Each structure stands twice: as C-alpha cells, then as structure tokens.
Chain A
Amino acid sequence: MTPLAARGLRKSYGGTEVVCGVDFAVEAGECYGLLGPNGAGKTTTLKLCLGLIEPDAGAIELLGQPVPRRAREARVQVGVVPQFDNLDPDFSVEENLVVYGRYFGIGAAQMRKRIPALLEFAGLAGRADAKITTLSGGMKRRLTLARALVNEPQVIFMDEPTTGLDPQARHLIWERLRRLTQEGKTLILTTHFMEEAERLCRRLAIMDRGRIIAEGSPRELIAQHIEPQVLEVHGQGYEQWMQRAKTLSPRVERVGDTVYCYGADIDPLLRDIPKDLSYLHRPASLEDVFLKLTGRDLRD
C-alpha cells in the first residue's frame, strides 16, 4: 500500500492559488522531502494531506483512506511534528504524552508503559516530571517528536523539524529520524534546509509557487539539473576575470559580488584565477539545484 498519494491538488486562499496542481506519491519506509522557499505551499500541502483543510480539487489517499473524507481514520496511524511547538505548557513532560495519548484512545496506564521508551528515544530520560517551560528549544522539539510517536504511527509528517535548532540539537534529531526510517516508518518532511534534505531524504520534491518543479533522489536532482563542480570567486577585479571565465566554463553566473562558475571540469579555471581573487571550489550540492530552479530572489 502506498502510504500517501496526492493527485492534482489545488488550494486557493482569497483568490490566490497557493497549491496549483501538486502530484506526488510516497513509498513505504522512505523519507520524502518537500523542499521549497517560504510561501512555496509546503505547509499547505501537508495540511491538505492530513485532511486539516479541504482541497479545491484533487484526490489524496493517506494509508488507504480517502482524505479529507476519512482523514480521521487515517490519522489514527499518523504522527505530526508541527513547524511551531505546541506542547501543553501547563503540563509536565510525562503529562503531555499521557494527555496526547488519550486523543488516540490510549489509556493512561498503557501510555505510562510506553513513556520510558519514548523519553529514551527523545533523549529526555529522567525528565518525565520536568515542566515544559524549563526545557530548551531542542528538548521541546524532541518531546514534540516523542508526542508524534505516542500512537506508534506508520507515517510521520514533519514540518521543518529542525528550524531554529543549534547544530548539536539538529544532528540529534537527524539521527533519531534515521532511526525511525530504519524501523520502517514512512517520513514526510518539509524543509528549506538543503543539508537536511540531502542527508535524510531518499527522494524529494522541490516546490515553488505551489507547484512541484523537480522530483528525485538528491543525487539524481544534482545530476539532472546542475554541473558537478562549482567555483565561487570574489574579490577585487572579479568583473574583469568573469569575462575570461565565460570562455572557460559552460555556465557562469554573477550574484552580487560573487562569480559562480559551474562545469564538469573546473581545473582550467582554477589555473587561471589571479592571486588576488579569493575562491572556493566545491562539488555541486542540492542548494545549487534549489537556487537554480527557484531563483535567488528573496521570498518573504
């Protein structure tokens, strides 16, 4: 069974179409990423898939249930990590999980048996009685992740799971998410963090202005859409050198005071760079694909 499939999804708010014909299918046990700049329609797509809002057009099937008609039944086996933590501030760590379990019809006694393992998973062992206000941002995120697992879900939706976390906290979350996929869970996450997408997602879709503009594994996307090597050059006199670079590289781009050269073989360029220019030579990344496809304009 395909855990999640969406066809022809459309959603408008006040005359503005924010999701304009989105199609995708997530395979069991994979981590699927929705990547896009702010306002690309990622969160709206997630909400549509969960049945929290109704699409104007299109069909969604989540764990074999048509959504939104039978979204409630589908959500029995779904976990959600929202973009902004909405833990219950009046409760302790443990109470948050017990109360949340009740929404799934899980009794307090049964929940208390699951809690030690959940807290262990979230790196919150020994914190059962801590108040939410005493937790760090990373701890809250991990507790939110634990909360999404109270019902032992098949599919877990995550909306920007590591936004706002420091590198240590982020790596811990990534490690836990990998563990979930190893356990066979299906993960669907939105992010605008290329590194996150590259590390976690088996496949991903790049969204922009309500559409999926590319889909594939991170490597496929890099191979399909961008030259393998990148050279970033900046410093006094970069404009002059840029003219020479254009004769040596198949694609040269200027952004502000930096020249980006893309190509399969960058060596002729490297030999040609004058001493007084600074440069960075690196393999192409998903971020290059993303910026190429969605443009460099600010989105706010």
Chain B
Amino acid sequence: MRWIAVWRRNFLVWRKLFAAAVLTNLADPLIMLFGLGYGLGALLPSVEGMSYIAFFAAGQLCTATMFTASFESMFSGFSRMYGQKTWDAILYAPLVIDDIVAGEIVWAASKAWLTGSTILGVAVVFGLAHSPWVLLAVPAAFLVGLAFSAVGVIMTVLARGWDFFSYYMTLVMTPMMMISGVFFPAEQLPAPLLAIAKALPLYHGVQIVRPLIAGGPPPALWLHVAVLLAYAAAGYVAAIYFARRRFSS
C-alpha cells in the first residue's frame, strides 16, 4: 500500500489547485453535453427510446472520463516524471517504480471518476436519469477511468517528449470516440468498424452507462466489466514493465 503516498501527493496538489482543476475538467464536457445535446436533440427527438440528450449524456460521461484519465496520466504524469523529476525524488525513498505506477494509475482514475460522477450528477439534476440503477454508473466511471489511466501511464513511460501524446490522442482516442457509440448508436456502423469498437474500452463503458441512465440493468454487464478490467490489468502490467525498463537505464 506504499502507492497511497504517491496518490496523496497528487491529491494534495489537486486540492491546492482545486478551482482551476475542476473548471477545466468539467466545463468542457458539460458545454459539449448541453450544446450538442439540446442542439442536436431538437432535430432527433429520440434515439434508442431515449431523448437524444440523455443518450448523449451516457456517451459524454464516458468520453469525459476517458479524457480526464488520459490527460492526467499522460500530460500531468509526464510532467511529474520528466519535467519535475518528482518520480526520481520518490525513488530515493523506500518506494519502487511499481509503487509509483500504481499510485499514478489510481490517482488518474480517481480524478476521472470525479469528472464522470459530476456529469452523472448534472444529468440527474437535469432529469436525464431517474432510476436508482443510475447509481451503478458511479463505480462504472471509476472502472473506465482505471482502464484509460493504465493505458495512459504506458504512453507516459514510453514517451521521449510531449509530441508523443499527440499521436495517441489523434490516432487512437479521437477515432475511438467516433466509433464507440458516444454520439450515435455504434450498431449502425459498418461491421468491421463495430468489431474494432468492440475491442476498445470506450465502447464497453458506454454499453454499461447508457442502460443505467435509461433506467435498467445493462445487458451483458459482466462482459463489458471484464473488458474494462482486462484493459486496466493488462495496462498496469505493461506500464510496470516499461517503467522498470525506462528507470533501470
């Protein structure tokens, strides 16, 4: 449990910069949610039996969670590792790189969870979700955060410079957002694209959260949970492998 000290270090920084951190994390996704939700919603009265804004809220919750997890684990993580050399300082103490990787992943997932939960809260307040089922979206947001944080830390420990993250964001995250059923049902995609979406974590997050917002249990819940857990676990193992390699040379 030594990684908790790493988590607490990041938490303390976040608490000091609370206002700016919350604003940047939440303003963007909420503007998107209401702008697109009400704007497009006027044209599309109902999608899969939900109002468009409720449909989009599920996608936006997962997307914003993905972005928070990825930004925190990549840009902020890289700044701590590479710019500030905070990781080096931690390694003089009785911690090893595995502890730092674990602390960073759980921290970024926690921050992402806060983003997801807040969007969920806004959705509930605006009457987009009514059923108690929606409460399950709270742990689901953490799971989505964990999957993307683990992958993000892999990128961080592989990165040689800041540009590296642009590739991941442009070539992986943006297309993933388009095919994972965030803006429209993924099932209307051509079969090959749908197959790719199903291999990626965001699709599974949306598949869990959307039925919960609609007010019922998600079909094939455990499959989706298993995929997200697999990304988190495999990402954790790979991040440790590459982090050890980076820090042993």
Contacts and interface: CB of A to CB of B under 8 A. Distances in A.
Contacts of B8: 99, 102
Interface string A29-73: 000000000000000000000101110000000000000000011
A177 B246 CA distance: 33
Interface in B204-249: 247-249
A72 B17 contact: no
Contact of B93 (A54, A73, A103): A103
B18 to A, nearest CB: 12
Contacts of A148: 92
Given A52-B247, A86-B89, A91-B13, A103 B5 contact: yes
A12 to B, nearest CB: 11
Contacts of A151: 93
Contact of B9 (A52, A88, A89): A88
Interface in B132-184: none
Interface residues of B, number: 23
Given A53-B249, A90-B16, A104 B84 contact: no
B12 interface: yes
A194 B90 CA distance: 30
Contact of A82 (B16, B92, B96, B248): B92
A148 B248 CA distance: 22
A75 B93 contact: yes
Interface in B48-89: 84-86, 88-89
Interface string B85-105: 110111111111000000000
Contact of A72 (B89, B95, B247, B248): B95
Nearest to A54: B248
A189 to B, nearest CB: 15
Give the interface size class of chain A. Answer: 20 to 34
Contacts of B13: 88, 90-91
Contacts of B5: 99, 102-103, 105
A118 interface: no
Interface of A: 13, 50, 52-54, 72-73, 75-76, 78-80, 82, 84, 86-91, 95, 99-100, 102-105, 147-148, 151
Given A75-B94, A78-B92, A86-B86, 5 more contacts: A52-B247, A84-B85, A90-B13, A102-B5, A103-B93
Interface of B: 2, 5, 8-9, 12-13, 16-17, 84-86, 88-96, 247-249
24 contacts: A13-B249, A52-B92, A52-B247, A72-B94, A72-B96, A76-B94, A78-B92, A82-B85, A82-B89, A86-B84, A86-B86, A88-B89, A89-B84, A90-B13, A90-B17, A91-B16, A99-B5, A99-B12, A102-B8, A103-B5, A103-B90, A103-B94, A103-B95, A105-B5
